[in-house]
Structures are given as C-alpha cells and as structure tokens.
A and B are shown apart, each in its own frame.
Chain A
Amino acid sequence: MARLLAPIVALILGLALILASDRPLPKADFTFVNHGDVSTLDLQKMSWLQDLRIGRILFEGLVRNDMLGERGTIKPAVAERWELSADHRTYTFHLRANAEWSNGEPVRAGDFIFAWRRALLPDTASDYAAQFQLIQGGREFFDWRSRRLDEFKPGDDAAGLWRQTQAKFTEMVGLSAPDDRTLIVTLRRPVPYFLDLCANAVFFPVYPPLVSQYDTVDPTTGRITSRSGWTRAETIVCDGPFTLASWRFKRDMRFVRNPHYWDPGRINFDSMNCLCIEDISAQVMAFRSGGIDFLTDVSAPYRPDLLEGRLQFDREHQRQIDEMRAQGLDQTTIERLLPPDPNHRDTVHAFHTFGTYFYSFNCLPRLLDGRENPFADPRVRRAFAMAVDKQRITDQVRRLGEHPSATLIPQGSIPGYHSPNGLRHDPVAARDLLAAAGYPGGRGLPTIQILYTRDAGHEFIAQSIKKDWEETLGASVQLAQREIKVFRNDVRSGNYMVSRGSWYGDYGDPTTFLDINRTGDGNNDRKYSSKQFDDLMAASDAETDPARRMAILEDAERIIVEQDLPILPIFRYVQLYMYDPHRLTGITSDPRQEQEVQELDLLGDGKGADKPHERPARPPGGGA
C-alpha cells in the first residue's frame, strides 16, 4: 500500500516546491487589463496600440499630447521648450535639466539621436521607418545602409562597416546635439505634425549604455542584431513616470513610481498592475468579479448586449443627459454625474475612435492568376461602393452604436480638417454606373470573391455586403474565409479581388490615413496608383500655410472616397471600456483614444489629486 501512495506523495511534494517558488505580489494601487500581452517594449520596434500605451507609462519623449485638455494640444515633456525656424524645417529642443533616467543619469540630447538612429537603421526593422525618414537625410541614410548590407559578403570587415555607418549617420542625417541639453532636428520639408510624431512612443529615447549591450555586429551579414532582453524588469532603464518592477510573461506587469521622474505630481498611484487576460469573455467576467479598475478594449462576443444595457440606462436618464450636453459637458463628465446604477450598467463606456473599417478593392489591371480585374475600373469600384447599405451593417450586424462612414478619415477627428462628403448609398445610381462600365445588370462580371478572416464578426459583414451586391448589382459573390497568415500573404501580394481592411491613425493629421494610398506605399494593399492623388499629396508636403494645406488634403481624400474608391469606407470603430465612472477619472473622450493610463486617478483612494478631471466645456455640436 505504501508503494501505491508513494507516487501521489511525490506529486504533492513537487507541487509544493513549485508553489513555494512562486510568491504572489502585493495588491497594487491600480489594476488594469491591457489587450493581451505586449509584443515588445523596445520602443523603436513598437506598432501596436497596446504596446504604445505601455511605452508611454515607462518612457517619455520630447513632448506629449494633452489628451485631457483642449484637443490637439502639445505639452512639454523632456523638452521644456522648443523653437521652430522661419522656414519651418528646423526644430531646436531644449531639454529640461531635471529629466532623468530611472538610474539617476540625466536624459541627454544624444539619447534621442541614439534612439532615432536605431529607428533609421534597416537592421532594426521599425514599422515607422517612413516617419523617421522625414528627417533631413534619413531616407538617403536608410538607402545607403541597405545598399551596403546587400553588398556585404562573409569575410568583409563587419565592425569597420558599422564604424563607417555611424560616421555616415552623423554626416548625412539632420540631427545634432551641440550640448547635452540641446537637440537640433532638421527636417526634409516642413512637417506640421512633427511635434505630434515626437509624442509617439516610437520617438521616445532609450538608454544607450544599456541598449548598445544588446546590439551585436553579425560578422557574416554585417548587420546589427538587436537581441531581446534589455526590456526586462531586471535590466530596463526608463525615463517615464513609472518603472517596470516585474514582468511575468503573459501573466502580469507591475509598474512602480519612478523616483527620478521630473514631474511626480502628474501621477496618482505608487504602483500599478497590468493583468494579462487573453480570453475576451474572461476579461469581462474578471471585471465583474471585482479587483480590476479599468478594462481596455472590451471585445467579448456579447458586447452589443453590454452596450444595450448601457443605452437603456442612458435612456432612463435621457433628460439629464440632454441638459448636460446642452451645457457642452464632455461625455466622461456626463457619465460621472449620472446617478450610480445598482445593476452596474453604467460601467460600460463606448467612445468613437480614430479608426475606420473598410473594404479594399484590388486596383491592379490583372488579378494574380492572369484574369482581367473588373475593379481596375474606378466606375466599377464606385458602383460597388454605392450599392452597400452601411446603415444595415452598423444597426443590425455590429450593433455597437458605430456610425456608417463615407470617408476614410473619421469625420471631425482632426481639428481644422473638413471631410469631403463621400458617396451615399444609392442603388439606382450604382446600377446605372455599372451598366455604363460595361456590366449591365452584372452581366459579364466574373464571380466576385470577398476575402476576410474568421473572427471579430468579419463574416457577418461580408454576408451583408454580398447580399447588397447580388441584389442590387446582379453580381455573383463568393465569400472566402482565410487563416490570418494566409490572408495577410494574399493581401500583400495582391492575390484577391475585394478584402476587408482597417486603419487606425497614429497622429493628428490627415496624412496618417491618406499616406496609405500613395503609389508604392508599404501599406497600400490595394496597389492603387493615381498621379492626380500623388501630385496632391506632394503639393500638401510643400505647402506651409496650414489652411491651404488642409484644403489640398481634403481634395486628395475626395479623390479616394468620391472618385476612385480604392477603399470603400464602411464604419468608424467604437471602443468599449469598462470602469466605474464614479471612481475612475482621467479617461479621455478624445477621438484619438490614446488613454494615458499613467494619468488616471481613483477617486477617494487617498492617493494623488483625488478630484475629477474636467475637460473644458465645448459648445454642443462641435466635433465628434
């Protein structure tokens, strides 16, 4: 009998050992759930919204966006002030004396140059390389280095090439640091949104003595291989409001106040915990069962029902809401001033975002299999666009209160920019246009294939659109569902007719959306190419008068959404959060939806300012 029990006893002992080695952390002042685990904390390699969100907690750049004040305001951060030259091409940033890394070292101008050089190296593979190439000489340096790496043969002097590259960078690229507290940036052309770019975490500095340890010159290819590892809690050095106390993979991240941060009054917590809950239903249940103060990016399949509860609660208080709206109060303020709901329906919050869901038309004259592509003709694309009933998609398929969209850039999201009208849903005009293009009643059209991926409800949207195209235009439509990797591959190589797509803006300027339509742009999955559009974009690059520039960009977008339609905009995304509006303050309703987690505050927790953030009241009807 003893022998029988032995294996079980051994198992229990082993378990005890493992458990003893794994101590839970004490409760943090604030707990939130980010969307999955981040894919990297290496700033220059980031591109996901949830990575950038964490990037802003740990690091700080020259300037930052003020998401809680007047829209489009840039605030000083590591740079206490800056000047712009008369030709709008040279920025001189003056760094504050008390900006420090978490190890007490001062943040130097050279740290920015180091970080930006990483982003400009083809070796780093930054998704934002194109934004850095707005700096004078950036593109030439990138191309020079790429050529040199292509020519490199094993046996060549790799270390020598790297020394030469460093020298070439200093010589070619318009970045200089006359002293540790002055950074001079010369741009290729006036870039009105350059400060906004500097507020993006990809432009934040990294600590050179640490990061250079992880860069090695590969003797066989000559490339700099950037090894992972410096972003871990044990090693990381950062300059933001918080530092990383622990990061357990796919489990949690613990942030603690950075004692060297220059503006401690900005933060309201001593510690924050970021839980990783990947299952989209478990996230909501975790919030419901308590212990979580803020749930970002709610995407559970039953979120329309969550939102319906919220809307019902709002309807019960419609009179109060209308009164507060009339006073110009912000959405977050209104939600806080409503009475608490015993059923917690008021914990659901929906905000319009800076992202558009659209369909892409392949614009190449021929499909990859050699067949003629009907969508090469803009008239066909326009006809198909006008045949889609977007209202039905938002009302019956999505049910998230999203607005149907006729433009690529979300309407009213960029101050000073007036969106064109776009095309209306007009089945009769659509039929006529298709007939004029040589396909009366859909005769002569090949079977149209819609490419999409499995989850997130893409299939239901595709079905709704299929119905419109079949019934209105007489086309025969086939749905093609693909695994995400296959989908990306097909879309990139142009192996599709129509596919689902989406785009979120990175900075508050129309080019963040329009650039993806430039000929040859890396994100131009439609292979769209129009001289008229490219010329307008080039003209906007050269224009220094802000109002005239915006007018040019309006014309450019008009080509996309009224004339050529490489992209068929469908709706503007809504973002769902869960939090108690009477406890949590500091959530922004800004259409950019860059939540500054480091600035949130729990009311009544005895830490931080403990008073609700008030966004300045605006006259009703102004903006989204």
Chain B
Amino acid sequence: MISLILRRLMQLPLILLVIYTLTLTLAWAIPGSPLDKPEGRQPPPEVREAMLRQYDLHSFPRFYFSYLSNALGVRYVSDSISGRAREREEKARAAGQAPPRRFVFDLGPSLQYEDWRVNDIVAASLPVSVSLGIVAVVLATLIGVGAGVVGAARPGSILDLATLSVALVGVSLPSFVVGTALLVVFPVWLGVGTVGGWGTVGKMVLPAITLALPLAAYIARLTRMGMVEHLRADFIRTARAKGASEASVLLRHALKPAFLPVLSFLGPACAMAMTGSFVVEKVFSVPGMGQHFVNAVLNKDLFLIIGVVLIYASMLVLLNLAVDVLYRWIDPRTE
C-alpha cells in the first residue's frame, strides 16, 4: 500500500507539468488580450505595452519559465538567498508598516482582480467549494443509499417505482433548473432561508441539495442494482435460513457488498462535487472556486486559469489515490 502511495505521489509533479504545459499553450491561444477591458475606458497603448512586459505576457517562453520559477518556489528561495527579501522587510519596518506578504509557491497575480494574488483567491474559495462538495456528497450518499435500499427491498413496488422515477428526474434535470426552482419556492415564496451569501449552515442547504441531487440519483440506482443482485445470492439465503431479521439481511448482509461500487463512485463524485459546481455556485452566489474556472477563461486571466487548473488537477489525483487506498483498506481482497 505504501508503495502505491509513493508511486502515485511521485507521478504527481510529472502530471502537473504536462497539464501546465497543455493549459498554458491552450490559454495562450485564446484570442484577445488579457489586459483589455470589456467596456469603457481603455488604457493608452504605451501603458498596455508596459503591462504586457511587466507580466511577461509578450513572450511565451519567458512567461512559461518565469511562472514555473514562481510557482515552484525557485524565486522565493533566490530572493531569500540574495537578501532582496530582507531588504524589503527592513524598508517596511522602517516606515512602520507590515512588510508585503510573500508566498513560497507563488501562483501570480490575477489580471482581472488586480488586488488579489491567485494564492489568495484559491485560499478564499477552495474551502468553500470543498465544504459544499462534502455536504453534497454526504447528503447524496444518505439519500441515495436510503432510496436504493427501499427500492431493492420490494422491487417493482410503488415505492420502488417512485424512487426510480425521482432518480430519473434527478439525473436528467440540469442543476440551474433545480437550483432556480428551489430558490423561487423556498426563499422567495415561502420566506424560508435567504438568497446568496455563505457562512452559515442554513445557507448551505439549498446549494448542497441541488448539487447532491444528480449524485444521489446515481447512487440510488447503483445501490438498488447491487442490492437486487446480491439479494438473490446464496449467502443471503443462508442468512435468512439462520433466522436473521429482514432488516439485518438488508443492511448487514446485502448492503455491504452492494456498497462497494458506490464507494468507488464516491471518489470521482467527491472530485466532481468539489470542482464541478460552477452552475450551482453561480445560481446561489456561493463564493467558491468553480466560477473562476469558467470566468478566468472568458477573461483570459492567464494566472488564474493555470492556478485553478493546477489545483483541480492535484485534487483529482489525490482524491483518486484516497479512494484507491480506502478501497483496499475496506476490502483487502482487491489488489
């Protein structure tokens, strides 16, 4: 197991380098200049030229390597060794001000939100996306497994049909429809909860349900399928013959093997819920990271595009690794 973890972790930098190169090449090819404002007053041409140089945006190789050296911490180390960092610090102290912050792994400035470094943006928005994702996955598992068990207990019953049709709706309805409907019904019509904002558990419920619904539907179908299959198996007949109660048969004996496919789905599901929540974040004004993924591309905000892609890529790799490890731990037969 340890060798698996080590091997995967060693692959990570290589994967990230390939992704960085691909992303930068593609993002560089987006037409237009990242410095253009969509409307209104434009900077004079000399000023534009100056900004292009300041960010190394006038030359692909320069940008490629300067970004790498900042993001890998090479710049941080060289500044520390050359004493440039200390010089700045002393100057700040002399003026009675806190010295500007430095990042070891500096993902650069955002070109659209000039006051923020990409590091700040990720630090502010990643926890939001992650917590929304976790709530959604937990909700989806509870709802999905519950519905799946209920359906599998009496296949073909009205209850089974009902859960199956709800699941079908959950999978087919896009989240901007579900989200907007929830917003109109609960805060606007019934006065329950508020629109927009983040920070309390109450504000999390509606976006999490919206995000959870398609996942729950998929999990319900997975659970039901697995349960129905395992309920026909010999070991269930044995359990029943030993006099185990119906609840014990369903939850202890049948659910356990039926849950394994659900577990392997949870890895990508977690990644999906934490990274793919763009629409939900937009509809509910959740200050998460998904929005930057799309907006940064539209704005050609190079630093933000690459930063967000690299973070997402690392998350996907690490989450998949976590699932593999868990899988072996829960079911030691898998190799």
- Tell me whether A286 is interfacial, beta carbon within 8 Å: yes
Name the one of A221, A278, A489 contacting B33, with C-beta atoms under 8 angstroms. Answer: A489
For A15, A209, A235, A252, the residue with the greatest tally of chain B CB atoms inside 10 Å of its CB is A15
**Known A249-B116, A282-B285: A523·B42 in contact at CB below 8 Å:** yes
**Does A127 lie within 8 Å of B41, measured CB to CB?**
yes
> How far, in angstroms, from A283 to B97 measured CA to CA in the complex?
38
- Tell me whether B10 is interfacial, beta carbon within 8 Å: no
**Does A485 lie within 8 Å of B31, measured CB to CB?**
yes
User: What residues of chain A lie closer than 8 Å to B124, measured between beta carbons?
Assistant: 248-251
> How far, in angstroms, from A4 to B251 measured CA to CA in the complex?
12
**Does B287 lie within 8 Å of A251, measured CB to CB?**
yes
- Tell me whether A3 is interfacial, beta carbon within 8 Å: yes
- Tell me whether B54 is interfacial, beta carbon within 8 Å: yes
- For window 249-281 of A, CB contacts with B under 8 Å fall at 249-252, 275-279, 281
> How far, in angstroms, from A7 to B325 measured CA to CA in the complex?
11
A453 nearest CB neighbor, chain B only: B38
Name the one of B54, B115, B131, B200 contacting A18, with C-beta atoms under 8 angstroms. Answer: B131
- Tell me whether A216 is interfacial, beta carbon within 8 Å: yes
Name the one of B188, B201, B270 contacting A285, with C-beta atoms under 8 angstroms. Answer: B188
User: What residues of chain B lie closer than 8 Å to A210, measured between beta carbons?
Assistant: 97
- Tell me whether B310 is interfacial, beta carbon within 8 Å: no
- Tell me whether A88 is interfacial, beta carbon within 8 Å: no
**Known A7-B263, A223-B53: A275·B196 in contact at CB below 8 Å:** yes
- Tell me whether A213 is interfacial, beta carbon within 8 Å: yes
> How far, in angstroms, from A502 to B39 measured CA to CA in the complex?
8
**Does A11 lie within 8 Å of B300, measured CB to CB?**
no
- Tell me whether B330 is interfacial, beta carbon within 8 Å: yes
- Shortest distance between the CB of A327 and any CB in chain B (Å): 38
The total number of A-B Cβ pairs within 8 Å is: 221
Of the listed stretches A185-193, A226-234, A578-586, A596-604, name the one at the interface; the rest are far from the partner chain: A226-234
- Tell me whether A488 is interfacial, beta carbon within 8 Å: yes
**Known A8-B141, A221-B54: A522·B97 in contact at CB below 8 Å:** no
**Known A285-B184, A522-B42: A15·B285 in contact at CB below 8 Å:** no
Name the one of A25, A213, A453 contacting B100, with C-beta atoms under 8 angstroms. Answer: A213
- Tell me whether B95 is interfacial, beta carbon within 8 Å: yes
B192 nearest CB neighbor, chain A only: A289
**Does B266 lie within 8 Å of A7, measured CB to CB?**
yes
> How far, in angstroms, from A23 to B201 measured CA to CA in the complex?
11
Name the one of A45, A249, A252 contacting B125, with C-beta atoms under 8 angstroms. Answer: A249
**Known A213-B100, A485-B33: A40·B114 in contact at CB below 8 Å:** yes
Of the listed stretches B14-22, B43-51, B217-225, B230-238, name the one at the interface; the rest are far from the partner chain: B43-51
Contact with B along A160-193 (1 / 0, CB 8 A): 0000000000000000000000000000000000
- Tell me whether A606 is interfacial, beta carbon within 8 Å: no
- For window 106-134 of B, CB contacts with A under 8 Å fall at 109, 112-117, 120-121, 124-125, 127, 130-131, 134
- Tell me whether A19 is interfacial, beta carbon within 8 Å: yes
**Does B120 lie within 8 Å of A288, measured CB to CB?**
no
- Shortest distance between the CB of B57 and any CB in chain A (Å): 13
- Tell me whether A239 is interfacial, beta carbon within 8 Å: no
Of the listed stretches A118-126, A371-379, A418-426, name the one at the interface; the rest are far from the partner chain: A118-126
- Tell me whether A484 is interfacial, beta carbon within 8 Å: yes
- Tell me whether B243 is interfacial, beta carbon within 8 Å: no
- Shortest distance between the CB of A101 and any CB in chain B (Å): 12
> How far, in angstroms, from A24 to B134 measured CA to CA in the complex?
20
**Does A14 lie within 8 Å of B134, measured CB to CB?**
yes
**Known A7-B266, A125-B51, A279-B283: A231·B115 in contact at CB below 8 Å:** yes
**Does B32 lie within 8 Å of A485, measured CB to CB?**
yes
**Does A45 lie within 8 Å of B114, measured CB to CB?**
yes
User: What residues of chain A lie closer than 8 Å to B252, measured between beta carbons?
Assistant: 1
Contact with B along A493-521 (1 / 0, CB 8 A): 00000000011101000000000000000
For A130, A149, A250, A278, the residue with the greatest tally of chain B CB atoms inside 10 Å of its CB is A250
> How far, in angstroms, from A149 to B53 measured CA to CA in the complex?
11
**Known A249-B121, A278-B291, A289-B187: A485·B195 in contact at CB below 8 Å:** no
- Shortest distance between the CB of B169 and any CB in chain A (Å): 23
User: What residues of chain B lie closer than 8 Å to A251, measured between beta carbons?
Assistant: 124, 197-198, 287
**Does B134 lie within 8 Å of A229, measured CB to CB?**
no
User: What residues of chain B lie closer than 8 Å to A530, measured between beta carbons?
Assistant: none
**Does A40 lie within 8 Å of B298, measured CB to CB?**
no
> How far, in angstroms, from A487 to B33 measured CA to CA in the complex?
11
**Known A47-B40, A209-B95, A522-B42: A42·B114 in contact at CB below 8 Å:** yes
- Shortest distance between the CB of A612 and any CB in chain B (Å): 28
- For window 80-139 of A, CB contacts with B under 8 Å fall at 122-123, 125-130
- For window 165-195 of B, CB contacts with A under 8 Å fall at 180, 183-184, 187-188, 191, 193-195
Name the one of A19, A221, A483 contacting B31, with C-beta atoms under 8 angstroms. Answer: A483
**Does B194 lie within 8 Å of A39, measured CB to CB?**
no
Name the one of B46, B53, B54, B330 contacting A4, with C-beta atoms under 8 angstroms. Answer: B330
- Sample 7 A-B pairs with CB under 8 A, ordered by A number: A41-B115, A127-B42, A129-B47, A214-B100, A276-B285, A277-B285, A489-B31
CB-based closest 5 A-B pairs:
A485-B32, A286-B195, A289-B187, A24-B199, A251-B287
Which residues on B are within 8 Å of A, measured CB to CB? 30-33, 36-48, 50-51, 53-54, 88, 91-92, 95-101, 109, 112-117, 120-121, 124-125, 127, 130-131, 134-135, 137-138, 141, 180, 183-184, 187-188, 191, 193-201, 252, 256, 259, 263, 266, 270, 282-285, 287, 291, 298-300, 326, 329-330
Which residues on A are within 8 Å of B, measured CB to CB? 1, 3-4, 6-8, 11-12, 14-15, 18-19, 21-25, 37-42, 45, 47-48, 122-123, 125-130, 146, 149, 209-210, 212-214, 216, 218, 221, 223, 225, 227-232, 234-235, 248-252, 275-279, 281-283, 285-286, 288-291, 453, 483-489, 492, 502-504, 506, 522-523
Besides A15-B138, A235-B97, 10 new A-B residue pairs in contact (Cβ under 8 A), listed by A number: A25-B199, A127-B37, A218-B54, A228-B117, A229-B115, A251-B124, A282-B285, A289-B195, A486-B31, A489-B33
